[in-house]
Structure 1
């Protein structure tokens, strides 16, 4: 059992110390020097940051049964960026932790988008229908026929108005639902169709195992690079709809600050891990650097050419996440604006209670 959990090292893996030997066996990868260890640790911390990044927002949406604080554009750009990121990371054969994070991104994004569609469309329409069912048509039993007629007409108008509101909400949301479904299914379908099948099981092509396939290494790398840069552009634009929505509302109500704090930390550690990776510092012969390079060796310039889109996608978003953090500072809980609103709310409640007290005393 021990050998299965911590297998022996490959002959080409030659760590510099016993600590690195143990780390290589624990992480099932060759960690020959302390720079590689630092890069690996930052990658793992990045995974840890992202594992729970969206969970507070998912919980908040469930508790509020609302997604009013979230921008639809933010979620869609984020999801599409993560789909492109996963595709590019696998096709360019990026480091294992990059592929794990990318796959997890897509999964959790799908949960958030599902919540948005449920609470923003289905749940809202159902709530409107319940309100309509609760409208009672009738008047005061002590009123005359004319009063009954006016009350009945008024309630009927109210019911019709709410019905129109529900229909308008459904009509306004349905194009977004249809568009989302079409785009997501099209992207996933295109991705699935591009994968060669081996033994009936789809297998994502990599630069090392597609020789002799129907796609050349050069074409796969070109596609991976293109998709990677598209993901970078989507990431850089993803926060803009949310920043604009927060600025229009002058509020961050409905948003979880933990989401953006974790996103900032995850992107920071992810960028740091890539910067410290030894493959980006020098060229290596096959299995060079004590095993840090693979059987084909490694060229630093080529490594960075494949890695840059993912690095800029993470590093560039740091400023956007920091801007969202500033908005929480200006308009979030505990801000001066929030305190003023709370004082005004307490003042209204106090005035209302005072009014009720005077009516009871009279």
Structure 2
């Protein structure tokens, strides 16, 4: 069966977007693991992002959107839960576990002494953060003179690999019959409830990064964040929107998909704000403040 060109492009862009989101979580998970901390991430950012993904998934299923859109919605939710689980472990469970370990060692010795801190819980937490900061080699240093070329090359290779994997994945799926014509009728109107959920998800997406931007500004640092995480997010959002637009530009179809387009393309502005923070705070780290 001959595949229409618009459906082929839609499938390829959707597959690249899926690959972007599949690999997106890896650099940030590794950054958290390497630092043994997730303090760089805003908890509110992840919670709002999760709410947006839940609304997105339910709305996409209700509106019978493209299978790639639904598949991405399912994967988004899984990624959110993994990220939240890691954040809770490193920022809440692990410090308490370390505090209990310290207390047990003290009791094994001879009980508390007059030199023990009055607030051991807070002290243990500070010790964990200090230990993590000593090990930290954050990707925000990508903009320093010593690491920029090497890190830029790694990031470029990562993006090219995602583009290749996404395109090859769609081509294999098409040749094996696992992916076929979508059959999404452009003139089909979405149920009102699905559109409401779609706009709700767009609202959450458009506001999710604001807490992260505020956290970065408050800390005057992007330490603990992986810049590749946001680069792949940008690639994923761009190709996600492209997969919808390349399928059809018919009025009713665009109206039906407007909430999802707003959610994916609208967040790009905030992603670029975060890129600006990486550059600005990275410059501060290697500028006059280091020489003082």
Q: Same fold (TM over 0.5)?
A: yes
Residue 231 of structure 2 corresponds to which residue in structure 1? 261
Q: In 1, distance between residues paired with 2:290 and 2:200?
A: 47
CA contact (8 A) 1:90 1:99 kept: yes
Residue 161 of structure 1 corresponds to which residue in structure 2? 119
Question: Whose relative contact order is higher, 1 or 2, with alpha carbons under 8 Å and at least 6 apart?
Answer: 2
Equivalence map 1:42-57=2 (5 Å)? 42-57=13-28
Equivalence map 1:22-171=2 (5 Å)? 31-32=3-4, 34-135=5-106, 152-155=113-116, 158=117, 160-163=118-121
CA drift of 1:43 comes to 1.5
Residue 306 of structure 1 corresponds to which residue in structure 2? 256
Point out the structure with the larger helix share. Answer: 2
2:219 aligned with 1:249, yes or no?
yes
How many residues in Structure 1 have an aligned counterpart in Structure 2?
A: 230
CA contact (8 A) 1:86 1:99 kept: yes
When the two chains are superposed, the root-mean-square deviation of aligned CA atoms in Å is: 2.8
Q: In 2, distance between residues paired with 1:223 and 1:35?
A: 28
2:275 aligned with 1:275, yes or no?
no
CA drift of 1:132 comes to 3.3
Equivalence map 1:216-231=2 (5 Å)? 221-231=191-201
CA drift of 1:133 comes to 3.8
Cα distance, 1:164–1:310 mapped onto 2, change above 3 Å: closer
Cα distance, 1:123–1:152 mapped onto 2, change above 3 Å: closer
CA drift of 1:36 comes to 2.7
Residue 293 of structure 1 corresponds to which residue in structure 2? none
Gaps of 5+ in 2: 126-183
Q: In 2, distance between residues paired with 1:266 and 1:338?
A: 30
Q: In 1, distance between residues paired with 2:288 and 2:25?
A: 28
| Large movers: runs of 4+ above 6 Å | 136-139, 164-167
Q: In 1, distance between residues paired with 2:120 and 2:105?
A: 11
Residue 158 of structure 2 corresponds to which residue in structure 1? none
Gaps of 5+ in 1: 1-8, 10-14, 16-30, 140-150, 168-207, 209-216, 281-299, 348-362
CA contact (8 A) 1:42 1:269 kept: yes
Higher-Rg member (1/2): 1
Cα distance, 1:80–1:161 mapped onto 2, change above 3 Å: same
SS of the residue aligned with 1:52? helix
Q: In 2, distance between residues paired with 1:104 and 1:256?
A: 20
CA contact (8 A) 2:195 2:256 kept: yes
